[in-house]
Structure 1
Amino acid sequence: MQKLELFRHSSLCVCQMGRVAAKLNIDFVISTGDNFYDDGLTGIDDPAFEISFSKIYTAKSLQKQWYSVLGNHDYRGDVEAQLNPILQKIDPRWICQRSFIVDTEIAEFFFIDSTPFVDKYFLKPKDHKYDWRGVLPREKYLSKLLKDLEIALKDSTAKWKIVVGHHPVRSIGHHGDTKELIRQLLPILEENNVDMYINGHDHCLEHISSRSSQIQFLTSGGGSKAWKGDMDKDKKDGIKFYYDGQGFMSVELEETNAKVVYFDIYGKVLHVVNLPKGLGTSVSAI
C-alpha cells in the first residue's frame, strides 16, 4: 500500500499532520501550490524557504520527499528560485518543477503547471507582477504541456492515474471552476481514464464527483485565509463534500482501492472517500 499526504495549511495543523503522517507511515508529501505566501520567493537565498518550510515541517514523519507544483502566488516571486536544485541542497526533501511525473508501484502522479492556463493573469494583472520566464510564448508552452501530458497518460499502465495542479477544474469555492482547464485539460483527463484530479487554490476542502467520467475532483487548499464564506450554493452537481475551513487530506492507495480522508486542523475526520478499482466507483462519507 502506498500512503501519501496532501495539503496546504497554516502552522495550526502542522502537529496534527505529523501525527496522521506517522500513523499512516506515509511515502511522500504533495503540496498543491502557493508554496510561499503571498508572493513566492525573492531568490534562492530568501529566508522564507527555511522559515516557511524547513523549520516548520520538523516532525519525523514528514521527513519524506515533498513534491510541489507552482501556484499563482509563486509566480509573483522569483519562479526560477523555487525550481532551482540548490534548494535541494538546503533541504533534500524539496522537489518543485513546472510539470513532471512521479511513478510509484501502483500509481502515476502527473503534476501540471496550471497557472499559465488562466487568462486573467495575463490580461488583468492588477497590482501584481508575474514571472513568466520559461513560459513565453504562452501558446507554445501550453501546447507542449498538453501534448506531453496526453502522451504520458496514454502510455501509462499504472493502476491509478492521478493528476495534480494548483487550480481546480471543478470547485464551488471562492474562485470556482477554472474555465480554461475545463476547456483545454478536462477532455484529455476524461479520454485517458484519469481517476483523480487534486488541486489547491480555493482555500477550502472539497470533493466533487464527475457526472461524465470516473474522475474525482479533490481540493486540498485549506491553508491560511480560509473561512471565506462564499460558497456557490447554486452549484450542486456532483458535490459530495465541502468544508470552508482549514485542514488537509491523506490518500492511501492499494491496487483495488483508494481511500481519501479529509481532516480539520484538530485531526478530526471530516469526510472519507473510498474508490474501488475495477468494481465501479462508490463514495462513502463520514
Structure 2
Amino acid sequence: MRGVTLSQPNIPGFCMSSSLQSGELERVHLKAQPRNGNSSKGDGFLGFLVVGEWGRKGAFNPSRVAFQMGKIGEKLKIDFVVSTGDNFYDNGLNSQHDPAFLQSLQIQEPANPLVQRFVTFYLLGNHDYRGDAAAQSSPFLRQIDSRWFCLRSFIVNAELAEIIFVDNTPLVKSYFLNSDNHTYDWHGIIPRKRYITNLLKDVECALRESIAKWKIVVGHHAIRSIGFHSDTEELVNYLLPILKANNVDFYINGHDHCLQHISDTDSRIEFLTSGAGSKAWRGDMKKQRREGLRFFYDGHLFNCPNLMPTLPFMMLTAPFCILGMRGNPFFTHPCS
C-alpha cells in the first residue's frame, strides 16, 4: 500500500490523504476533524456541490455560477465540490503549463472568494481528451492550485459515502470510430478493450466491497438523460448492470448542458445530470422516454447533494432551489 498526504487549502472539517494498491482505484480519504475547535464534522451530514461543462475562460457566465456556489456552499457548510468533466473548452489543456488552467479557475474568485475554500474533484470529459489528457492529472497543477484534484478514475471515501469517479469517455465507441475532425489523446487507453475491462472490474470490486451508507458513482456521460445527448448506450449495457447489482444510490454526470433528476423505474438509482456551469442549451430536450423524470432545467446551474444517515436531500440550484427526497414532494425557495 502506498500512501501520501495531499496538500490542500484550509478546508474546515476534513483532512485528506490518498492511497493506492496495485490493481485498484486510488482512494482519497476525507476524515472528519473538529470544527471551530470543539465541534466535529462527524455529525452524520455530508454536503457537496456538483458542476460541469464550465471551463471557458470566463465565457457564458461561469462567474455568476461561482457566486451562487460560494453562497450556497457557505450556507450548507459543504465539504467539497465535484466537477463532472469538460473542464477546459474546446480542446482540453495542451500541457500542464497551459495558461487556460488559471484563466478558467481564477475567473471564479472575484465573483465569490468563498469558492477558494473548497477542494474540487475533477473528472475528464470528452473535450478534455482532445488535449493532453494526462496534463490534468499532473501534480504540478496541485502546486499551482491546491484545490485541484484530478485522476482518470478514483474513489473518495467520505465516511458516510463512497463516491467512485469513473472515466467513462473511453467507453463511448463513437469517439474512436468518428472523431468529427477532432484529435483525441488516447495515451494509456489503447488497447481500449483491455482498459474498459479492467476499469469495469475495478468499479465492480470497489462497489461490492463498499460498506458505506451511500454509494455514489460519478461519470462524465449520462446513463439516463432526456437532454441533447440522451442515454449513452455503452453505459446502459456495461455500467448500469454493475450499479444495479451493487445497490448504488446515485449516478451523477455532466455532458448534457442542463440539470436533470430521473429516478430509475426498476432500481433504487437516482440519475442526476449537472452540466451547465457555463454554456446552457436552452430548449434542447427529448420528448420521448420521460418516465421517471422528476426535474429538468435548461439554464445555468449546479446541484447540491446532501446526505444524512437516514435520508438524502438535494438542492438543485438555478434561479431557485429545489429540495427533494425520494418518495416525497419537491419544495422550492429563492436562492437570493
- Tell me if both proteins adopt one fold, taking TM over 0.5 as the criterion: yes
**What residue in structure 2 maps to residue 177 of structure 1?**
231
Equivalent-residue separation in structure 1 for 2:269 and 2:310 (angstroms)? 16
Residue 272 (str. 1) matches residue 323 (str. 2)? yes
Residue 61 of structure 1, CA deviation:
4.6
* Structure 1 unaligned residues grouped into runs of 5+: 275-280
**Greater CA drift, 169-178 or 37-46:** 37-46
Residue 228 of structure 1, CA deviation:
3.5
Between structure 1 and structure 2, the one with the greater Rg is 2
**What residue in structure 1 maps to residue 124 of structure 2?**
70
Residue 6 (str. 1) matches residue 60 (str. 2)? no
Residue 227 of structure 1, CA deviation:
2.9
* Structure 2 unaligned residues grouped into runs of 5+: 1-44, 55-61, 332-336
**What residue in structure 2 maps to residue 162 of structure 1?**
216
SS in 1 for 2:299: coil
- Relative to the length of structure 1, the TM-score reads 0.94
Q: Deviations over 1:207-248 (max 9, x none)?
A: 000011000000001233313422111222111111111111
Percent identity over the alignment is: 50
**What residue in structure 1 maps to residue 31 of structure 2?**
none
**What residue in structure 2 maps to residue 56 of structure 1?**
108
Q: 2:327 aligns with which of 251, 276, 282?
A: 282
Q: Deviations over 1:153-182 (max 9, x none)?
A: 000000000000000000000000001000
Residue correspondence of structure 1 range 132-143 to structure 2 within 5 A:
132-143=186-197
- Relative to the length of structure 2, the TM-score reads 0.80
- Aligned residue pairs: how many? 277
Structure 1 stretches of 4+ moved >4 Å: none
Residue 243 (str. 1) matches residue 280 (str. 2)? no
Residue 87 (str. 1) matches residue 141 (str. 2)? yes
Contact 1:174 1:228 in 2 (8 A): no
**What residue in structure 1 maps to residue 90 of structure 2?**
38
Contact 2:47 2:305 in 1 (8 A): yes
SS in 1 for 2:309: coil
RMSD value over aligned CA atoms? Answer: 1.2
Q: Deviations over 1:59-99 (max 9, x none)?
A: 23542211010000000011011011110000111110011
Equivalent-residue separation in structure 1 for 2:307 and 2:193 (angstroms)? 36
Residue 253 of structure 1, CA deviation:
1.0
Q: 1:18 aligns with which of 60, 65, 70?
A: 70
Residue 261 of structure 1, CA deviation:
0.9
Residue 27 (str. 1) matches residue 79 (str. 2)? yes
The code of the aligned residue for 2:250 comes to M
